[in-house]
Amino acid sequence: MPTTVLIVDDELGIQTTLSGVLSDEGYITLTTGSGEAAVELYRERRPDVVFLDIWLPDRDGLETLQALRELDPAAAVIMMSGHGTASTAVKAIKMGAFDYIEKPLSYNDAVEAVLGALSYRESVYQDSSLLESLTRTATKLEAVPELAPPPPLSILEETDEPQRTLAAGTVLYGLGLHSGNRTGMTLQPLPVDSGIHFVSLPTNTYLPAHIGSVAETDYATTLSRGGHSIKTVEHLLSALRARGVTNLLIKVHGEIPVLDGSALEFCEALDDAGVIDQAGPCRELVIDRVYEVEGEGGKRLTIEPADRFSARYELSYPPPIGDQVCDFVLSSYEDYRREIAPARTFGFVRDLSMMSELGLATGGRLDNCILVGDDDIINTELRFDDEFARHKVLDIIGDLYLLGYPIRGRVTARLTGHKTNIALLREIAAGG
């Protein structure tokens, strides 16, 4: 069956132009300038994708979106606006819109948005748990807080780099490392000056990617609000920081997919979706003095002023790991993708029973972590001789992005982990 696209906009020019673009691509189009008519057309024709304007003469676009979701919880709706705000964009996406794009629409914007929405719709129907959660939340939406970027710090500076977001939404699936549950995640673009934000499904609980949301740091970094949590955010945040993505909405079921235990597949997903520059400068948190956190057993983490971000990690374990040092300068995304992103998380056989009792690492399999025995690596060949230290640098980059801005400074770490990383962030925030 040919794909059908419904275009809902009270501007005849938008209807005509968008309909022409999509018809050229082989899609059947339906058009209307009325929200009420759009609901009836959807009821009768069940289009595969909907372009829906925020501002309509007879009913609000968000009200129309809600009505469409009540008809079809898996409706693939792309919201449009020529003068929307960041809070409007997030509200639309939280209410179930697949994407939010700004006018004037380019040919590529329209085509890519349809392709992304079709992929999303297909993935929903292939995953019964995701469809069930969408059905539960179609008529029960949490009040949406006003979206604002993280509070500014006195050591922020504008850079020559632009803010960035994704060119189109994308969907990833996998297991949660610690929950062991199948988990789905969508990454969706946000307007300039929005920041990075999580939404926990199926409750639609909003959690900003900020240290104020951090609840746990044992074995992974967990965000929590209102009794709802999102686990293992550090690998995804690490890839976002390296790629320069500053504005993004992440909707996820409880835990970020672990994938292969590294950040490489997140990089691949970002590359496939495309990353675009936005009309606003990126602000960087410039370290102005030395900040330091110490812990038991010789743990020590410092950050000091520098011209760019870099991290040195010193690791010391008994064989088969031994002493390792990784010294990495984040001079480009390509360097990160090649040298840091492939480094996988690791765990020790001797700790598995304890972690199981704590309800952790139940998703740990032979293909998503490095499993270390008493004398040897049990399940894989290492990608780097110092892969363990490189993964610690990967974690540092991700955890330190929870201040809401990229950091410019030189990190030196010895034997530290997520708890120490977050403690250092709190020191920086308190001194900013």
Catalytically annotated residues: 418
Angle between helices 128-137 and 107-126 (to 10 degrees): 110
Q: Which of 120, 126, 117 has its CA nearest to residue 27?
A: 117
Distance from C-alpha of 163 to C-alpha of 176, rounded to nearest angstrom: 30
Residue with tokens 């020529």: 82
Q: Which of 35, 98, 29, 32 has its CA nearest to residue 62?
A: 35
Distance from C-alpha of 171 to C-alpha of 167, rounded to nearest angstrom: 13
Judge contact between 313 and 326, C-beta under 8 A.
Answer: yes
SS3 298: helix
Distance from C-alpha of 36 to C-alpha of 43, rounded to nearest angstrom: 11
Structure tokens at 249: 């909405």
Half-sphere exposure of residue 224, counting CA atoms within 13 Å on the CB side?
11
**DSSP for 52-112?**
EES--SSS-HHHHHHHHHHH-TT--EEEEESS--HHHHHHHHHTT-SEEEESSPPHHHHHH
Structure tokens at 265: 């597949």
SS3 270: helix
Query: 197: phi > 0 → left, psi -120 to 50 → alpha, else beta; which?
Result: beta
Judge contact between 82 and 110, C-beta under 8 A.
Answer: no
Distance from C-alpha of 360 to C-alpha of 366, rounded to nearest angstrom: 16
Residue with tokens 């979706």: 273
Which distant-in-sequence residues (6+ apart) come within 8 Å of 367 by Cβ?
260, 379, 380
